[in-house]
Chain A
């Protein structure tokens, strides 16, 4: 190692609970009768099925292609018949269902023909990346981000170092340790291939010092074999969460990558050791990602261990040999710090399923008020103020909570682990994140609607103007066609004005004229006078 190890702030020394599941080498789980492949089992867009009901498929055959630029292909993990493409329970904390391709296995396990690289040393990086992409490989450490995207340079910055994550810092989980122990050669070959794919100059493998056997196994192969790229195995202290990508990079290189940066920005690529083995399998054997090691452990399991499991195998099959009672045990997918509980054991093993932790159910300690002791801040590896985040999440003050960098939280659970008031802090952060995402989505929708409305208004306005313009032009054209010039119409207007003026003058003169008692003839006057006299006489008679 050229430079001394760095440390990151916070973190926890946790009891490992790893030896029990490390006693035996991995066992192969018998082939399940039904295999279930959720289309959405990686980060990004769900995959799109390329098979239909009734299709016969072979082991390793593509059954769903990438559904977008960030997506991963899915392959059948054994041969059989597609019996359904329908909603099935998947392993998700909400217990939700999602579209799955269901294959009934025929027991033959016939594989498709595969082609592989005989000589990856001289392969084109792009060709290697395409192979990795087509093999449906995603990050097997837990996040499930499509691997080829992390290997595709976007920044223009040369990749200096590949960091292979063999820390496996969560208690109980041992699938990576077991993989390094039993497939050390493929871990190193995988690392070598990824180095070639990203043109990295070297590879550092970070492994926590509680995995002595794995470290020894890797050292042995490293000394016996030749690799194209310099590979170094670095033993690092066991502190949770060293296996977090950014924490591991800090420990190995001293670089602090913020939540707004990617490792690539500083010339680093980070991959899990399991992913490296999957890459080796894809490139050297032509085998897509169809199986993985899964740790089955916990105090509810009498014989903890690791199993080589075909993807799509229902969890039920994994738990069958053990006496599990859903009312007495919690079934946790992943580790005790970041995993989630599920209720339905029909959900299948997917690419990211690293551990099944079966724990006797405990009565949760009731949450007490926060006493602001700041123990949480002392252990937060992201150097946040968890209790401030908690206050603002409680108050639903989602602007303030982002001022306190909510989205830098990696949900490692250290804060909730040490909280003397037993407040489920991570739950509050997940709630706040989801709320903010939803609001952002709502806002985008509203913005789109408003833009649409404004655009409509503008369009109407433009149309009106256009119509107006067209009418004016038409009229002008008409006038011109009748041979009238502008001045002609003007003189016509003047004539009309004059006529109107004359009419007005006449009307005024007329207004004073008619009164029928003027200009009477003498005789008429006499007759009127006589009539008046008679009326007067008549009135006097009456009196």
Chain B
């Protein structure tokens, strides 16, 4: 019996939210499979298995009931988000170590679900990027551009034994992402139109073959989450608007040096970040105004790091850095209480 009212409840639960997040990720994952092969599925399988393993382990160590936490689905979502962010061609221990770090260090050492100040998946990603830059920066070329697209079994071979077919070298199957290409080439003194022309086969119609469609499908998934009221529109809209504004200003200043807003919007992990990573409720701002500020700050920082930082993409660092500001943002964006501050 409940001690206190209310006695009726909306049929919502943490598990339901997590299930919807997983479902909404599917279109983007499918697009990733289409353009970069089965690597993401292999990574996801390894990451989810290790997430469940680590979650069970750490919950037993913490003497907490295991079943409710495993069933809430949060570990699976963390694993899936990390797996999507990883390069499709990667040794098995990359998702394993990354997930372990995310679950044990970023989530449970801070107190478990709901208590972690930083997005666990992005902590895992950032750790891997810093500790294993070689494995983390080798992205496969899109399937349609590769001379020898890797099959499922070849990818699995690489994952388990770090072994490519004899005829292929790592350099032959991987290549810089469009974001990377634009960044390095402009630093070498080339203008953006020149880069685009030279690598016209890489930059489809918007922002790079493969990437643009993956972004479109993550956008679709995100809109589904919004329609289901799993996430609110504030963070994605603020973040994407800030990115467009930042990119737009510099694009207007010098289109030879700065890529267009559309390019930024549709490349890298922009849509995944806007709808699935920045919106993680645990680590995001919670007030309405706070969410707008939080999203906008991520958008600004994303552009700054992409443009002037050391990494081609910056979702993880932008989100993690703004995660730190969340308590302050929430404190200064408290809503007006009913009846207060209207002078009546």
Contacts and interface: CB of A to CB of B under 8 A. Distances in A.
Interface in B264-304: 281-282, 284, 286-288
Contacts of A387: 286
A368 B14 contact: yes
Contact of A417 (B8, B16, B112, B342): B8
A405 B4 contact: no
Contact of B5 (A336, A370, A371): A336
B5 A255 contact: no
A378 B12 CA distance: 14
Nearest to B6: A413
B5 A339 contact: yes
Given A338-B5, A340-B4, A422-B9, A366 B68 contact: yes
A8 B338 contact: yes
A339 B5 CA distance: 6
Nearest to A9: B338
Contacts of A396: none
* Most chain A beta-carbon neighbours within 10 Å: one of B14, B282, B342: B14
Contact of B2 (A256, A381, A424): A424
A231 interface: no
Interface in B1-57: 1-10, 12-14, 16-17
A285 B183 CA distance: 88
Interface string A191-216: 00000000000000000000000000
A419 B334 CA distance: 20
Contacts of A426: 4-6
B339 A372 contact: no
B93 interface: no
* Most chain B beta-carbon neighbours within 10 Å: one of A383, A417, A420: A420
A431 B232 CA distance: 31
A70 interface: no
Contact of A383 (B3, B4, B284, B337): B337
B10 A417 contact: yes
A336 B287 contact: no
B8 A171 contact: yes
Interface residues of B, number: 39
Nearest to B333: A385
B113 interface: yes
Interface stretch (A258-266, A448-456, A502-510): A258-266
A424 B6 CA distance: 8
Contacts of B114: 369-372, 421
Given A373-B17, A377-B335, A420-B17, A266 B344 contact: yes
A359 interface: yes
B340 A258 contact: yes
B115 interface: yes
Nearest to A363: B1
B113 A374 contact: no
A171 B8 CA distance: 10
A540 B28 CA distance: 136
Contacts of B9: 365, 416-419, 422
A116 B117 CA distance: 68
Contacts, number: 144
B281 A417 contact: no
B112 A258 contact: no
- Interface of chain B, main secondary structure: loop
- Interface of chain A, main secondary structure: loop
A435 interface: no
Contact of B8 (A257, A337, A369, A427): A337
A382 interface: yes
A163 to B, nearest CB: 16
A170 B114 CA distance: 32
B336 A420 contact: no
Given A420-B14, A424-B4, A371 B281 contact: yes
A421 B282 CA distance: 12
B72 interface: yes
Contacts of A20: none
B68 A374 contact: no
B6 A420 contact: no
A420 B7 contact: no
Contacts of A255: 344
A256 B336 CA distance: 12
A418 B330 CA distance: 21
Nearest to A258: B339
Contact of A404 (B7, B281, B334, B338): B334
A418 B286 contact: no
Contacts of A340: 4-5
A382 B8 contact: no
A330 B1 contact: yes
Given A369-B113, A374-B286, A404-B334, A259 B339 contact: yes
B338 A374 contact: no
A257 B339 contact: yes
Interface in A6-61: 8-9, 12, 14
B113 A381 contact: no
B337 A384 contact: yes
A369 B115 contact: yes
B1 A413 contact: no
Nearest to B10: A418
Interface of B: 1-10, 12-14, 16-17, 68, 72, 74, 112-115, 232, 281-282, 284, 286-288, 330, 334-340, 342, 344
10 contacts: A257-B339, A361-B1, A368-B13, A371-B17, A374-B287, A384-B335, A408-B338, A408-B339, A413-B5, A420-B14
Given A357-B7, A365-B9, A417-B9, 10 more contacts: A266-B344, A341-B7, A369-B112, A371-B14, A374-B287, A384-B335, A385-B335, A413-B6, A417-B6, A419-B9
